[in-house]
Structure 1
Amino acid sequence: MSGPVVVGVDGSRSNLAVVEAAAKAAERLGVGLELTQVVGWPAQAGRFGIPTWESDGTAGRESRTSALAEAERHAHSAAPRVRISREVLVGEPENVLERESRTASLTVVGADGAQGYGALRKGSLAGRLSARSSGPLLVVRGRPNPAGPVLLVVHGTSTLRGAAEFAFAEASARGADLVAVQLRNVSAARPYGGSAPAVTEDEEDAELAAALAGLRERYPDVTLRCRRPRGRSRRALVEASSDSQLLVVGARGRFGFVGLPLDPVCQVALREADCPVALVRC
């Protein structure tokens, strides 16, 4: 996809780190950066619910202009060659960004409303958008290790190919190693009840090798290492993320459309990983 990287701008200081991460992502992908600020409907909306910017007041307009200008300065500083555009859109942030994600190469948001060790607060924008975005979603969180590898979470074959393609491309662009972490027995569980046929480790290894064979040829510069940690999958995922610069995880379908939650692996990654998380729809 050749669409821009879309990042939500909210005017907060913490959001500037998200904007910088989005700018660097746009530079790696060779696409433009779209700074998107979402505002709610003004109290004095025009006819048929269409807002007029005059009703929003001078202070509101100046605040938006200032926030976007500061975001653009930080984006330009992080990636001077990236083309930057601005948009002010009206609506609910999750609805607007979901719509923008349909044509974006990547949508970027922060782990807003974090509590404790960066865990997503229930109802946060990142949490809501993760169940609805159409394209890849990057949630900026944790304390990434710039010298660490890109981490590909392997948790079943239905999400492997799309996530692996994204992970290889990111590892190549970052000049990083790629570590594929095979989580034990996760592929035998369904996120919304029931059970799937058991898959042996040999079958998982064969499927992983087949899925990655073409990508290893396409990205010969990427060093791939595979790990199969023992013990609890949740702990293994969180521990692996502590020394990584990016975690990539695949999600099956658009669960938000039918009202079903993300599977447990995606939820753990988004809520507890100690580095940015890329959620790739497969």
Structure 2
Amino acid sequence: MTEPTTFPIGGELEVRRLGYGAMHLRPETAEARADCLAVVRRAVGLGVTLVDTAHMYGWGANEDLLAEALHPYPQGLVIATKVGIRRTASGEGWRHAGEPGDLRAQVDEALRRLRLDRIELLQLHRLDPGVPLADQLGALRDLRDEGKVGHIGLSEVTDAELAEARGIVDIASVQNRYNLLDREHEPVLRACEAAGIAFLPWRPVAAGTTGTRSEIAAVAKEVGATATQVVLAWLLARSPVILPIPGTTSITHLEENLGADAVHLTREQYDRLDRAAGSV
């Protein structure tokens, strides 16, 4: 099975299908910060053209880190970020923040931290149940029309919510949890595939369990790859709209992850993995 290696988000942002999720880059010491800078620079050096971050990742610190590591950004690199959540000092430590004024303020903050004039892919991190969806997406549409945002995406939505959102504004991407062993959001993936919407699975590798599954281990041995590479290769074969964004703070693991698009499963191997996952 030979899969396409790129995908045009929103029909125009042509990116490598294997991206990088920056969520784990949360340095607490100067040494750790230097390591994080090195990892993200290595990712781009290895051909990553989609880097995913969010206001929630360090409450802006992750965006600051990416700008320090990569600005001025190389041609063709897409930095995707997310808004719609604010930090709190109580409860779960965060709250929904989908009021139009708050979304606009968060976008302006992200532009400043990322040192950008325009965020090419802006995703709503969570739908705010206390604010009409039309108001939330209307605010992002206004920002798009003003040139501050290129394309609009969603995160953690159902297929019904995606359909409702598409009735309000063009949706270029959806970011939901999804991997070989966790396919709760299969209906959302299928809706994205039908509409040509990029599907960015977060947690694309089932940490701690992937390598212990006998069928995954068997296929990995057959193709001369690691279990992690096999499950990422399975995602790439699953649908042409899937853009995995595995994250890591290790250059060794980064190189392992990005080697997955050189792993080609046969139809028989793909089907065996598919059946094995169904027994979870």
Q: Give the TM-score, by structure 2 length.
A: 0.29
Between structure 1 and structure 2, the one with the greater Rg is 1
